[in-house]
Structure 1
Amino acid sequence: MTEHPILVTGGTGKSGARVVSQLVRKGVAVRVGSRSAEPRFDWTDRGSWDTALDGVKAVYLVPFEGDLLTRPFVRRAKELGVERIVLLSGRGVDVPGYAGENSVAGRILGDGDGDGDGDGDGDGEDAVRDSDLQWTIVRPAWFAQNFSEGFFLDAVLAGELRLPGGDGAASFVDAEDIAAVAALTEDGHAGQVYELSGPRAVTLAEAVAEISEATGRTIRYVPLPHEEFVAELTAQGWPAADAEDFADDVGPIRRGMDSHLSDGVQRATGRPARDFSEFVKSAVASGAWQG
């Protein structure tokens, strides 16, 4: 595997950058898939796919958040000699009712229509399963890093996290654990679906309380009804469809569908998943909330 570079799409993102780092530490040749890399990789420019895939035998595939491009990309990768795909999917893609009826994530990651029936018509998991390549699917819960470098960072810095999550809990998973699973290069992971979570579930209120205690900041969580949350986002200039989609993404937390624990980190790596408190300590040490 080390004789050929591993292409990491989304190679500068939350999970991709960590996959790159962990592979480099193992001495594995890596090709960062991004528009600023050399060779350049741009999901929207299919002419860049071939150069990025040249000589590649394995790919960490972070689906494009836009057009449905996973299936054509996997098809082209196979034509160019790729043998293994590790797909970043998401929790709940196989659970009817988890995602909203018009969920973008459901279309990109799952079976295309979000009904969880596994009927093979989707762009994400279906595309790699149908490819006849060696595949591994990684289904993480909510990233803990959403609080430090993602969706929730600005709200945390502002001192108020307003979400339609009710009093539900989520078993947030550390992106370092996601990368540790995705960066495994030894045999034995083909055909595996790894559901990843942290070792305990925390409510949104508990999460910001831990961050408050560790940083000395005053941060509070304000649960909002779905409609009020959407209205606030649209008043801030969000397109209505994007606001609805964000609210739908948070909905499973409110409905109690994200609190269960998954054993994928332990199964794949042989060690326990990192606790949310460990993530908080690491984020504080890195200066994530000094802004």
Structure 2
Amino acid sequence: MTGNTRNTTVVVTGATGRTGRRVAQAAQAAGLTVRPASRAQGFDWAERSTWAPVLRGADAAYLAYHSDIGTPDAARAIGLLAHEAVSLGVRRLVLLSSRGEERARPAEEALRESGAEWTVVRAAWFAQNFSEGPLVEGFRLSGELVFPGGEAREPFIDVRDIGDVVAGVLTAGDRYVGQAVAVSGPRLLTWAEAVAEIAKATGRELTYTAVPARAYGENLIGFGVPPEEVEFLVELFESLLDGRNAYLSDGVRQVLGREPRDFTEFAREAAAAGTWKV
């Protein structure tokens, strides 16, 4: 791809998901033509027959694996899809990865070995995990977040910044080809401090209760999550939430030339939208 975005088509996997939706919006705003790829459009990571129809004729693709990039099947699927993309002429690939997650490295390596013009975007924990997905119900129903975050400090990143960075990478010519770009928010917060920010924004009394990862896993089993998925999540939380991510990354400034959005801004906007209303 060149810096000229005219007539450039980018496939966005997970286009209705947390990051894909923002990538699609940012890519469109940057002048790219977006081809959404989700189950609603007939794309399925588990069904190889669905890949070629969405990839054929595109110039680039954003890859966000549907469960977690560190799962045992992620590296194989990403490698296979990347090779298929390259064979169809889609050489420019941007992969969403996880900052600090060692289990994500095989998937990154599979992308590098595909022959693609690749970029990896390694993201810190999403701010929107507090406003979209399973954590929201705890706030709504009981005013409590029960999670194995302990006292770890995390530079929560607004997923809108991930979308902007991916669009920036795709419209920067070859500048970020062969690079891993790490992105985070602008400051470190504990999980308790993040919940306190949400409480202030909503005007509600909200609490954070830290539990061991194993105890959290038992709760997930009670909610009907398959045992093999629970075991993966427990091991992931035990490693990823051990404090290893208590540092800032400058990828947002590097690519966009501005500071990342602050968690306070995220909390205020989500509260104004009624995200955590009872």
Length-normalised TM-score, structure 1: 0.85
Shift of 1:231: 2.4
Superposed displacement of residue 225, structure 1 = 2.2
- Equivalent positions of 1:27-46 (< 5 A) are 27-37=31-41, 40-46=42-48
Aligned to 1:272: 259
The separation in 2 between residues aligned to 1:263 and 1:199, in whole angstroms, is: 9
Contact 1:88 1:138 survives alignment (8 Å): yes
Aligned-partner residue type, residue 12 of structure 1: T
Partner of 2:129: 146
Q: Secondary structure at 2:224's aligned position in 1?
A: coil
Q: What is residue 168 of structure 1 aligned with on the other side?
A: 152
Match of 1:2 among 6, 11, 27: 6
Greater RCO, CA 8 A, separation 6+? 2
Over the aligned positions, Cα root-mean-square deviation in angstroms equals 1.7
Per-residue CA shift, 1:30-65, capped at 9, x if unaligned? 10011212xx32222222211101211100011243
Tell me: CA distance 1:91–1:277, structure 2 relative to 1, closer, same or farther (3 Å).
same
Q: C-alpha separation between the residues in 1 aligned to 2:149 and 2:277? A: 26
Residue identity opposite 1:170 in structure 2: E
Give the secondary structure class of the aligned counterpart of 2:40: coil
Partner SS for 1:288: coil
What is aligned with 1:125? 108
1:20 Cα deviation after fit: 0.6
C-alpha distance in structure 1 between counterparts of 2:40 and 2:241, whole Å: 38
Structural mapping, 1:243-258, within 5 Å: 243-252=230-239, 254-258=241-245
Q: CA deviation at 1:182?
A: 0.7
Report SS of the residue matched to 1:280: helix
CA contact (8 A) 2:91 2:117 kept: yes
1:197 paired residue number: 184
* 2: CA distance, partners of 1:168 / 1:227: 17
How many angstroms apart in 1 are the aligned matches of 2:125 and 2:15? 19
Secondary structure of 2:17's counterpart equals: coil
What is the identity, as a one-letter code, of the residue corresponding to 1:16? G
Shift of 1:230: 2.2
The alpha carbon displacement at 1:253 in A equals 5.7
Match of 1:118 in 2: none
Distance change (3 Å), C-alpha of 1:4 and 1:226: closer
Cα offsets for 1:235-262 (capped at 9, x unmatched): 3333333223333333346421121111
Q: Which amino acid aligns with 2:23?
A: V
Aligned residues of 1:168 and 1:253 also touching (Cα < 8 A): no
1:1-291 correspondence runs (5 A): 1-37=5-41, 40-65=42-67, 67-68=73-74, 69-94=77-102, 106=103, 109-111=104-106, 124-158=107-141, 159-184=143-168, 185-187=171-173, 188-252=175-239, 254-291=241-278
Alignment partner of 1:41: what SS? Answer: coil
The DSSP-based 3-state class of the residue aligned with 2:61 is: strand
Identity of aligned residues (%): 41
Structure 1 range deviating more: 61-70 or 160-169: 61-70
Which one has the bigger helix percentage? Answer: 2
Q: How far, CA to CA, are the matches of 2:209 and 2:271 in structure 1?
A: 23
Give the TM-score normalised by the residue count of structure 2: 0.89
